[in-house]
Amino acid sequence: MTFDYDLFVIGGGSGGVRAARVAAAGGARVALAEQDRYGGTCVIRGCVPKKLMVFASEYANDMKDAQAYGWTVHAGGFDWDRFHGKLTDELDRLEGVYRNLLKNSGVDSFDARARLSDAHTVTLSTGESYSAKHILIATGGRPVRPDLPGAEHGIVSDDIFHLPKLPKSILIIGGGYIACEFAGVLNGLGVEVTQYYRGAQILRGFDDEARGLVAEEMIQGGISLHLGTNILSMEKDGAGYRVKSTNGTEKVFDQVFFATGRRPNSDDLGLEDLGVELGRGGQIVVNEYSQTAVPSIYAIGDVTDRVNLTPVAIREGMAFVETVFNGNPTPVDHDLIPTAIFTQPEIGTVGLSEEDARAQEPIEVYCTSFKPMRQAFAGRVNRVMMKLVVSQETRKVLGCHIVAPGAGEMIQMAGIAVKMGATKEDFDRTCAVHPTMAEELVTMKTPVRTG
């Protein structure tokens, strides 16, 4: 059978674009359809604009520190309109980069919604249909609102970048990384931030000691964090929203922001009619090669709800091309992925938490917490943490957890060592870089806990 394309990619985010480009560079005939903006969640509605907002929010403390270091600083308030205009321009530029990458790679792009008519046919919202030997679904995910009275009045993470003005007060619902990152961002930009989380501690799934320190630092930084608390209902009240909560309080906020989870974009793609299996959360079920139950259909990225990180989606796309077009079956490696959460302070983490490691085998824990030199000199009382979780039997470092400014930069380097299987003694043999925060990773000699 002759196909119009060797590969048709549905979704123009980081994973889909990378797979399309690499396959086309190898000589495949490739098409890609995207119904929204090219670049996907990360570039348009996630990592990139969020990180720029993190940068913007940190200048308030930077200027206070500068004064403590002897500088005369004259700064006015934060100008949201000025920042937002530059942010929009940067996202437009990046979308143009993604479009040009596809064009220059020889990929045919369609600005349309796509769904599958059969195992080898894609039909676009514009009416055209194209056949393809292989179909790759990379449609990502979307934020969801909870099912409660008045929830339609709240905003979600996609909306935060398009606010016409910053609210004076905001209630953030949730305790995951999105909720905690934006709590820090908005607090730094001068918004009065309240955060409700129904659980006992924020950042579930991360190392307990690390997330505990982040919670303490968030509260000390001015965020009103309420654990074990959830929203019952919200309703319009003048220019704001009256919120009833499980702790018995009622309060009016200018804005309410739901960071209560995301759902894969697998709806109305025609998948179930073709025999593609979907999980309970709507995720596309795939094997280790990102292949669905229908042999010609593959899926990568957040729509599979495996490890929802941009670099992971890109690696899944590369493994797909290697498997399908290069004749080299390459399973996706989801083990020991370093990651950062851009809370204030940041968390950098790779490997097992202390709790997960202890459930697996006997361990030693090396940990230190201290006031970093830069902030301490400026009179701040913020603390940072460096932690290694070590196997008693093999001496391998099972987990590394950093809570500190710049933790994301540090964990990238530590992640190489942990991925290579470095032992505690390998860390010990490495000479310290002084004076730095990260030197503590190689100078901790005595475990603080064993078991």
Could you give the residue numbers annotated as active site?
A: 434
Query: How many Å apart are CA 97 and CA 78, to the nearest integer?
Result: 29
Q: Which residues of 144-162 are buried (b: 16+ CB within 10 A; e: fewer)?
A: eeeebebbeebbbbeebbe
Q: What one-letter code names the amino acid at 426? A: D
Structural contact between residues 172 and 257, judged by C-beta atoms closer than 8 angstroms: yes
C-alpha dist (Å) from residue 270 to 109, 214, 273, 281, 284: 21, 43, 6, 17, 12
Assign residue 282 a region (left: φ > 0; alpha: ψ between -120 and 50; beta: otherwise): left
Report phi then psi at 103, rounded to 5.
-60, -45
Per the document, the length of the chain is 451
- 181: its two tokens: 């990152």
Q: What one-letter code names the amino acid at 180? A: C
CB atoms within 10 A of CB 299: 30
Query: How many Å apart are CA 415 and CA 336, to the nearest integer?
Result: 8
- Collapse the DSSP code of 19 into the 3-class scheme (helix H, G, I; strand E, B; otherwise coil) and give the result: helix
- Collapse the DSSP code of 383 into the 3-class scheme (helix H, G, I; strand E, B; otherwise coil) and give the result: coil
Cα angle, residue 385 at apex, residues 399 and 344 outer, rounded to 5°: 105
